[in-house]
Amino acid sequence: MMAAATLGSWPGGFAWAFARDFRLAWRSPGETVLVIAFFVLVASLFPLGVGADMRLLERIGPGVIWVCALLAAFLSLPTMFSSDYGDGSLEQMALSSHPMVGWVSGKIAAHWIMTGLPLTVLSPLLALQYGLEADTLLVLAAALAIGTPVLSLLGAACSALTLGARGGGMLLALLALPLFVPILIFGAGAAEAQAAGLSPSPHLSLLGAALIVAGMGLPSAVSLAIRIALD
């Protein structure tokens, strides 16, 4: 036990950072609630804008919900590393004996639990507002469950790259949103394929492949970005 604590390890760092960020979010749940409120609000604005024609809403539903999820996930990105960067705790974590990739993954996982997971859980409710069928609704939730972790991973890389940059929020949007394009296409495509009577599994498989590649590659990219920021 002592040896593990002094040497540091990937799982140790992961568990520590995950527990820390989760506890911080649990103690001030305002931010998570805001993300969810934003998601629901924007998704409810679309019918007001395009009209309450149920056939039209059913047609655009999956896409709209995906775009809203994407924007909601993006909203919480700027604070992912910046508060820790601002008060110096990021530097202390970088100095800890745990490998950086571990605790970075822990922070990303905590971010997903606080944004992606609530959005996934809420999405069937919004899909009902758009009049989607029950099976489409399940596929949409499944696609969100696989796709939102990729958004958190990609977003973490962009968030770490913009640490200490001028024009933070808009710059982050410019960096992150183009990278989100494939996830949006596959994610919304899964539900649309299901609604059109096709199998959604190719889209879901591609999302899964994206998740595996992103999960393997991006934590090290985020670590490198943090090292660049701390130099």
Partner 1 sequence: MNWFYLSSPSTFYRFAGWLTPWFFALAALLTAAGLYYGFIVAPTDAQQGEVYRVIFIHVPAAWMSMFLYFVMAAYAAASLTFNTRLAAMMARAVAPTGALFTFVALWTGAFWGRPTWGTYWAWDARMTSELVLLFLYFGFIALANAFDDPRRGDRAAALLALIGLVNLPIIYFSVHWWNTLHQGSTVKLTGTSMHVAMLTAMLLMVFAFWMYAIGAALTRVRSIILERERRTRWVRAL
Q: What is the dihedral of CA 49, 51, 52, 53, to 10 degrees?
A: -140
217, 179 in Cβ contact below 8 A?
A: no
Helix (H) / strand (E) containing 123: helix 116-129
Question: Nearest 5°: CA angle at 10, between 28 and 12?
Answer: 55
Query: Of the candidates 8, 16, 185, 208, which one interacts with partner 1 according to CB under 8 A?
Result: 185
Q: What is the dihedral of CA 175, 229, 218, 36, to 10 degrees?
A: -60
Nearer to partner 1, 93 or 226 (CB): 226
State in Å, rounded, how far the first CA of the chain is from the last one.
Answer: 32
- Dihedral-angle region of residue 170 (phi above 0 means left; psi in -120 to 50 means alpha; beta otherwise): alpha
186 binds partner 1 (CB under 8 A): yes
196 binds partner 1 (CB under 8 A): no
Nearer to partner 1, 113 or 173 (CB): 173
Query: Of the candidates 40, 94, 138, 171, which one interacts with partner 1 according to CB under 8 A?
Result: 171
Query: Of the candidates 27, 28, 52, 167, which one interacts with partner 1 according to CB under 8 A?
Result: 167
207 φ, ψ to 5°? -60, -45
94 binds partner 1 (CB under 8 A): no
Query: Of the candidates 178, 198, 201, 205, which one interacts with partner 1 according to CB under 8 A?
Result: 178
49 binds partner 1 (CB under 8 A): no
231 binds partner 1 (CB under 8 A): yes
Query: Of the candidates 41, 125, 165, 216, which one interacts with partner 1 according to CB under 8 A?
Result: 165
136 binds partner 1 (CB under 8 A): no
Residues 6+ apart with CB under 8 A from 153: 108, 214, 215, 218, 219, 222
162 binds partner 1 (CB under 8 A): yes
Instruction: Report how far residue 72's alpha carbon sits from residue 60's, in angstroms, rounded to the nearest whole number.
Output: 18
Nearer to partner 1, 110 or 210 (CB): 210
143 φ, ψ to 5°? -65, -40
Q: What's the min distance (Å) between Cβ of 211 and partner 1? A: 12
Q: What's the min distance (Å) between Cβ of 106 and partner 1? A: 21
Instruction: Report how far residue 19's alpha carbon sits from residue 11's, in angstroms, rounded to the nearest whole number.
Output: 12
Total residues contacting partner 1 by CB under 8 A comes to 29
Binding residues vs partner 1 (CB under 8 A): 157-158, 161-162, 164-167, 171, 174-175, 177-179, 181-182, 185-186, 189, 206, 210, 217-218, 221, 224-225, 228-229, 231
